[in-house]
């Protein structure tokens, strides 16, 4: 029978034998964030479209070309449908949630992290999907460069925990509205003389936001932008001082960095610090983390003026990079015990024993397919069960069975009565100890 439909273009399925990789990255991300004082926040998959137009910027590719609109099929109020958009990134939604739920009225700084899916209508390619996943972190309340250094240090710590120690950090400052106004004048004058060669999108950006031209993906526009004026030459005293302090803090923490004055990031809300972590291990889509400061966003969204900064990491790219480098993933949980049964009474006992052990946190399986004993043991071997027990009339009568270690073939007697859980726990501890000693000997 043919499948009714395939998954949408630009999306992917994560099947059980791959899910452990995602679980490794997600757990490591959450653990690292909590070490730095960040707490989880969750917010809707879709938001009012105005949120993204206001925050991301209507001159960005994200807003102009890539957002997915969501429209109710039949508006409940009988009027025009609400204008919603699937989130293309996490910062705007997190900021809206922080304002709306009063987080910024609590003790500052407020630190939050999230693991979310995002949606952008782009040309699918390796490391770039239409539905993708991000780990993001945001800090609200501090305007000091030490906060920038802390956020960058956390991103680096996560990359190192994942085994990605060959990733380069690039930093830049794109200034504040005051010094950026002068920079925009210089950029506009530069690009005006070359406007005949600019793509149509960049021609539109020339008057509205010439910095966006620096982020264009067109090779021609990239070539033109290579000789454009550099933002670092236009920083005001405050922004220059902030950038110098950041460099000092990173150096003190022994975090190596490169200054790249062409980094502007793709979204309009950034101010002052912007940064990227880039790897050469996965081809052209090598940016595994990007972020920076966005001191004006909270006020722009209706909150009180509040400095803020953060970053996001693409989980797909992290996993691709880990795979390319042979980094270790936490292994998928193995079946601790498979209980094979012969006959209805034995199956009933298997169900009871399985529940008892599962209540203690063990991974236990038993037959639900009405297989014979031999096929059951083949299945136990296929799923990698550490131990097996076979239950039949004799085992039920004596309330004892043989516990078999599937790796060594060794069998030991185990009670099926009141001491069953303790006896099995001791067997597991002994197996773990033998494994440790074997590794120690190697």
Same domain? For 68 and 149 the reply is: yes
Looking at the fold, whether 164 and 284 belong to one and the same domain comes out as yes
Residues 105 and 160 in one domain: yes
> Number of folded domains in the chain?
2
Residues 118 and 253 in one domain: yes
- Summarised one tens digit per residue, pLDDT across range 404-425 is 999 999 999 999 999 999 999 9
pLDDT > 90: percent of the chain: 72
**pLDDT at residue 269, rounded to an integer:** 79
**Full domain range(s) for residue 265:** 16-176+236-325
- Tell me: do 248 and 269 sit in the same domain: yes
pLDDT band (50, 70, 90) for residue 286: confident
Residues 158-196 pLDDT 10s: 999 999 988 999 999 999 989 988 998 998 999 998 888
pLDDT by residue (tens digit) across 71-90?
776 655 656 657 899 999 99
In a domain, residue 441? The reply is no
364-394 pLDDT, tens digit per residue, is: 999 999 999 999 999 999 999 999 999 999 9
- Alpha helices by DSSP H, listed for 56-131, are 61, 91-100
Average of pLDDT values for 416-440? 76
Q: Are residues 98 and 246 in the same domain?
A: yes
| CA–CA gap between residue 367 and residue 347 (Å, rounded) | 8
Tell whether the model's pLDDT for residue 205 goes beyond 70: yes
Q: Name 244's Cβ contacts closer than 8 Å, sequence gap at least 6.
A: none
CATH classification at residue 386: 3.40.50.800
pLDDT higher than threshold 50 for residue 441: no
Separation between Cα atoms, residue 309 and residue 380, nearest integer Å = 50
Q: Is residue 199 part of a domain?
A: no
Which residues have C-beta within 8 Å of that of residue 58, sequence separation ≥ 6?
64
Kindly state the percentage of the chain with pLDDT values over 70. 93
Name the H helices within 101-176: 145-161
> What is the CATH number for 150?
3.30.930.10
Of 2-16, 78-92, 120-134, 364-378, give the range with the top mean pLDDT: 364-378
pLDDT given at position 79: 62
Which pLDDT value is given to residue 440? 39
Same domain, 400 and 313: no
pLDDT at position 207, please? 82
Judge if 401 and 318 occupy the same domain: no
Question: Could you say which of 272, 296, 325 is where a domain stops?
Answer: 325
State the chain's maximal CA–CA distance in angstroms. Answer: 94
Residue 221 placed within a domain: no
Tokens representing 53 are: 């137009």
Could you tell me how many residues make up the chain?
Answer: 442
CA dihedral (281, 283, 289, 291) positive or negative: positive
Q: What pLDDT sits at residue 70?
A: 85
């Amino acid at each position: 029978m043919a499948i009714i439909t395939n998954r949408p273009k630009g999306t992917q399925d994560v099947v059980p034998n791959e899910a452990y990789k995602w679980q490794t990255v997600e757990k490591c991300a959450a653990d690292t964030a909590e070490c730095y004082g960040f707490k989880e926040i969750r917010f809707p998959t879709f938001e009012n479209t105005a949120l993204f137009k206001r925050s991301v910027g209507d001159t960005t590719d994200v807003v102009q070309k890539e957002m997915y609109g969501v429209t109710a099929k039949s508006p409940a109020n009988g009027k025009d449908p609400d204008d919603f958009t699937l989130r293309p990134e996490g910062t705007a939604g997190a900021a809206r949630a922080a304002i709306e739920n009063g987080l910024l009225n609590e003790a500052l700084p407020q630190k939050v992290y999230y693991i979310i899916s995002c949606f952008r209508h782009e040309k699918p390619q390796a490391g770039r999907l239409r539905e993708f996943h991000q780990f993001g972190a945001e800090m609200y309340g501090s305007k000091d460069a030490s906060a920038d250094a802390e956020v960058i240090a956390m991103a680096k710590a996560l990359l190192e925990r994942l085994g990605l120690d060959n990733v380069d950090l690039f930093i830049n400052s794109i200034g504040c509205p005051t010094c950026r106004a002068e920079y925009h004048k210089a950029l506009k004058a530069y690009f005006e003389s070359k406007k005949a060669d600019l793509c149509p999108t960049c021609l539109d950006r020339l008057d509205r936001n010439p910095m966006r031209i620096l982020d264009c993906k067109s090779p021609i526009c990239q070539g033109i932008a290579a000789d454009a004026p550099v933002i670092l030459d236009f920083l005001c005293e405050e922004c220059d001082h902030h950038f110098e302090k950041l460099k000092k803090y990173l150096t003190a923490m022994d975090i190596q960095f490169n200054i790249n004055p062409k980094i502007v990031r793709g979204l309009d809300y950034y101010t002052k610090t912007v940064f990227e972590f880039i790897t050469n291990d996965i081809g052209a889509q090598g940016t595994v983390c990007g972020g920076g400061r966005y001191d004006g966003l909270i006020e722009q969204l209706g909150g009180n003026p509040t400095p803020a900064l953060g970053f996001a990491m693409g989980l797909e790219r992290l996993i691709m990079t880990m795979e390319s480098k042979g980094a270790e993933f936490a292994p998928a949980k193995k079946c601790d015990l498979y209980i094979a049964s012969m006959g209805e009474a034995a199956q009933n006992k298997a169900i009871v024993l399985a529940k008892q052990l599962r209540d203690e946190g063990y991974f236990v399986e038993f037959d639900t397919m009405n297989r014979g004993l031999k096929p059951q043991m083949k299945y136990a071997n296929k799923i990698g069960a550490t131990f097996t027990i076979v239950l039949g009339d004799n085992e039920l009568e004596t309330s004892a069975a043989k516990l078999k270690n599937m790796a060594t073939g060794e069998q030991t007697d185990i009670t099926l009565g009141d001491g069953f859980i303790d006896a099995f726990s001791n067997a597991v501890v002994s197996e773990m100890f033998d494994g440790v000693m074997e590794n120690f000997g190697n």
